[in-house]
Amino acid sequence: MKFMVLGFSGVGKTFYLGSLFKLRYDIGPRGIALQDKNFTEKSWIGNTHEIMTGIEVGSISSTMGLIDSSMVLTKGMDQIVDIEITDVEGQALNQKSGSQTAQKLISTIEDYDGLILIVKAPRNLQEAERSKEHLGQMLNFAREALKGNERIPMALVLNQIDLLPELHRIKPRLEEELEKLEAELDNKYGGNYSLIEQQLRIRKGEVVNKFVKPAVNTRAVFQVYHTFFRFIKATKLIVPNKVFPCTSLGFVNTGDTLDFATYLAESGQIYEPYGSAASFLWVIYARLKTLPKVRLMEIMPNEAGSNLLVDDLLEDIRDLHTSGKAYFDPDQNNPTKSGIWSLRNISLLESHTMQA
């Protein structure tokens, strides 16, 4: 299965991809993980992750051309599906560039199984205009993909939400709230770490999302995702879609005095990206749900196995949301409601109900 990530320069696309590699070891209840296809060689994504987190020393350069990383989705000891992730240089999306990369992108995009479109989460209406402009150009490329396959999923990632004013330096306040929750659970279950961890995974999301909600519930953010939904509604095609607020570096806000790897080393903080893993796994999930049976059997000859994988993916995606690693609106977590941030929309392929 092939997935493409589109985003203009400066939106944090490379860091987004690097954050996906935390799925190598930070696995959910069903054990879905993302690994290098060739475990004896580092992929570009794996290397980016290690530089981001200080495991390796180096610098992360901007993407040039098209860069492919060969990965594999695993469950326990089993390799389930081969995954190829393509990163596209931001300059290729510029209408004035006329680059060979852009031409190659147009000629191959319909071969992909899903698209992830990344824009910066706007801090104000002026930034919203820029994000909408970038999104509009990416949707032009998406049209080329939809010509060849009208059911490939698209995820819109609103990246760098940690830079939104409402989330500036929330780390101490967030940690205080989480410490209260942990103390409550420790007092209740007294050393039964299995139960404590289970309850944390169920309740932590509501604590984290209480801080995220005011940041994403703004007019500027609305304008961007509304543009995305209008495009999909106008296509008259069945296009699976969902929007994910994201911060590939977590809620850090170091004040730009330290690079991220140094911050982790000196502060003792845990690397906790937010939204990226859920967005990527959802695109895989949505594609498997919409694939024709013949194509699905090519990827996974065992039909029962493919159905189990879909269920496993959905459970791990749900766990990412409830355990505070992706956003849902706690007030919308109600079976009778269907807001775009609602947890129940994880399983829906058309995740918006906006009126014409």
Give the model's pLDDT for residue 356.
32
Q: Is residue 235 over pLDDT 60? A: yes
CB 79 within 8 A of CB 102: no
168: CB partners within 8 A, 6+ apart: 253
pLDDT tens figures, 181-220: 999 999 988 888 889 988 888 899 999 999 999 999 999 9
Q: Could you tell me which of 159, 170, 149 has the C-alpha nearest to residue 286?
A: 149
Output the six-digit token pair for 230.
């209008």
Dist. CA 139–CA 120, nearest whole Å = 15
Q: Which residue has the higher pLDDT, 47 or 213?
A: 213
Give the model's pLDDT for residue 94.
60
**pTM over cut 0.85:** yes
CA angle 166, 167, 170 (to 5 degrees): 125
Q: Is residue 255 over pLDDT 80? A: no
Dist. CA 240–CA 289, nearest whole Å = 10
Strand 66-75, strand 32-36: pairing: antiparallel
Output the six-digit token pair for 208.
């984290």
Dist. CA 239–CA 222, nearest whole Å = 20
CATH code at 2-168+212-347: 3.40.50.300
Q: Domain limits of the chain?
A: 2-168+212-347
What are the φ/ψ torsions at residue 232 (nearest 5 degrees)?
-65, -40
Q: Is residue 92 over pLDDT 60? A: no
Dist. CA 263–CA 102, nearest whole Å = 37
Dist. CA 329–CA 67, nearest whole Å = 35
Helix (H, G, I), strand (E, B) or coil at 83: strand
Q: Is residue 354 over pLDDT 50? A: no
Q: Could you tell me which of 227, 235, 219 has the C-alpha nearest to residue 144?
A: 235
Q: Averaged over 289-315, what is the pLDDT?
A: 77
Dist. CA 97–CA 95, nearest whole Å = 6
Alpha carbon 206 to chain centroid distance? Answer: 19
